[in-house]
């Protein structure tokens, strides 16, 4: 980190900062400019809170220099990581398409959905058994019964299953019935859950929080990596902004930023990113054009009777058409 002193800081104040740096086991490097002095801290200062120095006399601010993540960094891990999904290495040349309903609602609904997305060309099936809902009065998911139905749908179609765990106690169950544990946006900084996912030996789909920076997403991945689980797919699913015509704002920039910063594969979720089914297809294609390794899309056989997220769900026939369109865009950017 860099410590920037106030314009008229005294030698005693500078000495105080240097002493403090050394007392923490680091080396200090001074650089005097015309208007101010800056002090560099030499050594891996990731474990300390840099703002501590801001309480010392004469300090104006501190500036981080090292990226706070290590294991997630592209610098540290060439070549890129791929995560196998139904035989497809996600992060490789072929784009993955994960699709299915927001929630598992019944046997017929999930089996029908699974067959529909499989026929359309999906790589994997999504569907929630545990549902984080803003309102306690809304449908909260079928729980373990939903997991059993998802396993049945996999049996019937061969599609691997991606489903969310909302609490540490769900992790073993999800790992038992499903192929990929999803960590939802609201839980991106639920550290006990990240640790549990890190200890599970199952791939993780980690969604970016709607209020989280890309750096924080990578730090959450770092929690999972630090526990030894390297099978992580990162998912951009839209962030919260002032714009009101869409439910969220898809941060399309995050796709190339992540592809540059990390070795982990990147999935785009245009369903949550927009919140409206009419906008899902164009934004899904945009994600692939920007370099995403796959998309995750909500598909429901009867959206206007869905128990959650109906407004952003595609009907199976629209989805089938979108898969074709995605393939054309993938080819245009040298993917398949």
254, 264, 267, 295: which one binds a copy of itself (CB under 8 A): 254
Kindly tell me which of 86 and 195 has the beta carbon lying closer to a copy of itself. Answer: 195
Query: 226 with 198: CB under 8 angstroms?
Result: yes
CB of 52 to a copy of itself, least distance (A): 4
In the Cβ-directed half-sphere of 5, how many Cα atoms lie within 13 Å? 26
Strand partners, 61: 4
Closest approach of a copy of itself to the CB of residue 155, in Å: 29
Distance, first Cα to last Cα, the chain:
43
Q: How many residues bind a copy of itself (CB under 8 A)?
A: 116
Binding status of residue 85 toward a copy of itself by CB under 8 A: no
Nearest to a copy of itself of 33, 93 (CB atom): 33
Q: Which of 11, 25, 34, 79 binds a copy of itself (CB under 8 A)?
A: 34
Residue 287 binds a copy of itself (CB under 8 A): yes
Under the criterion CB under 8 A, does residue 38 sit at the interface with a copy of itself?
Answer: yes
Q: Which of 190, 229, 230, 271 binds a copy of itself (CB under 8 A)?
A: 190
- Distant-in-sequence, close-in-space partners of 36: CB < 8 Å, separation ≥ 6: 4, 5, 6, 7, 9, 60
Query: How many residues in the chain?
Result: 336
Nearer to a copy of itself, 179 or 251 (CB): 251
User: What is the contact mask toward a copy of itself in residues 3 to 32, using x (rule: CB under 8 A)?
Assistant: -x-xxx-----------x--------x-x-
How far apart are alpha carbons 280 and 274 in whole angstroms?
7
List, in sequence order, every residue forming a beta bridge with 117; answer none if it has no partner.
Answer: none
- Kindly tell me which residue out of 96, 114, 171, 223 binds a copy of itself, with binding defined by CB under 8 A: 223
Q: Which residue has the tokens 């015309």?
A: 34
Candidate residues 133, 156, 172, 317; the one interacting with a copy of itself per rule CB under 8 A: 133
List the one residue from 83, 161, 166, 178 that touches a copy of itself (CB under 8 A).
166
Dihedral sign of CA atoms 116, 122, 123, 128 in order: negative
Burial (Cβ within 10 Å: 0-12, 13-18, ≥19) of residue 277: buried
Residue 222 backbone phi and psi in degrees, to 5: -60, -40
Q: Using CB under 8 A, which of 81, 109, 123, 250 touches a copy of itself?
A: 250
Q: Given candidates 19, 51, 108, 336, which one binds a copy of itself under the rule CB under 8 A?
A: 51
- Stretch 300-319 residues interacting with a copy of itself (CB under 8 A): 303-313
Residues 229-248 that bind a copy of itself (CB under 8 A): 239-246
Over the range 145-164, which residues count as b (16 or more CB within 10 Å of their CB) and which as e?
Answer: ebbbbbbbbbeebebbbbbb
Q: How far is the CB of 252 from a copy of itself (least distance, A)?
A: 4
Position among 77, 94, 115, 186 found at the interface with a copy of itself (CB under 8 A): 186
Q: Is 7 exposed, middle or buried (0-12, 13-18, 19+ CB in 10 A)?
A: exposed
Q: Measured from the CB of residue 98, what is the shortest distance to a copy of itself in angstroms?
A: 19
One of 15, 19, 22, 46 touching a copy of itself (CB under 8 A): 46
Q: Classify each residue of 96-132 as buried b or exposed e, where b means 16 or more C-beta atoms within 10 Å of its C-beta.
A: bbbbbbbbbbeeebbbbbbbbbbebebbbbbbbbbbe
- Report helix angle 214-226 to 191-199, nearest 10: 50
Residues 95-124 that bind a copy of itself (CB under 8 A): none
Which of residues 75 and 155 has its CB atom nearest to a copy of itself in the complex? Answer: 75
């Amino acid at each position: 980190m860099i410590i920037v002193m106030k314009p008229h800081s005294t030698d005693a104040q500078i000495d105080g900062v240097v002493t403090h740096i050394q007392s923490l086991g680091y080396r200090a490097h001074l650089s005097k400019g015309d208007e101010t002095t800056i002090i560099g801290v030499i050594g891996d200062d990731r474990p300390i809170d840099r703002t501590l120095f801001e309480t010392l006399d004469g300090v104006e601010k501190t500036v981080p220099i090292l990226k706070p993540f290590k294991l997630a960094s592209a610098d540290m891990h060439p070549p890129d990581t791929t995560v196998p999904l139904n035989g497809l290495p996600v992060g490789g040349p072929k784009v993955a398409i994960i699709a299915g309903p927001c929630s598992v609602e019944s046997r017929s609904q999930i089996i029908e959905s699974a067959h529909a997305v499989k026929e359309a060309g999906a790589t994997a099936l999504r569907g929630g058994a545990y549902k984080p809902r803003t309102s306690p009065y809304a449908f909260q998911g079928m729980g373990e019964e939903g997991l059993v139905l998802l396993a049945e749908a996999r049996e019937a179609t061969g599609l691997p299953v991606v489903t969310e765990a909302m609490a540490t106690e769900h992790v073993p169950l999800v790992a038992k019935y499903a192929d990929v544990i999803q960590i939802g946006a609201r839980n991106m900084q639920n550290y006990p859950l990240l640790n549990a996912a890190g200890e599970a030996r199952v791939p993780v789909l980690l969604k970016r929080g709607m209020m989280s920076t890309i750096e924080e997403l990578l730090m959450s991945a770092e929690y999972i990596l630090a526990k030894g689980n390297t099978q992580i797919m990162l998912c951009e699913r839209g962030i919260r902004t002032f714009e009101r015509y869409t439910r969220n704002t898809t941060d399309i920039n995050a796709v190339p930023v992540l592809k540059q910063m990390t070795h982990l594969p990147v999935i785009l979720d245009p369903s949550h990113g927009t919140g409206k089914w009419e906008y899902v297809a164009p934004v899904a294609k945009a994600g692939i054009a920007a370099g995403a390794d796959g998309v995750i899309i909500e598909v429901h056989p009867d959206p206007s009777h869905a128990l959650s997220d109906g407004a952003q769900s595609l009907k199976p026939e629209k989805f089938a058409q979108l898969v074709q369109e995605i393939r054309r865009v993938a080819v245009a950017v040298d993917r398949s």
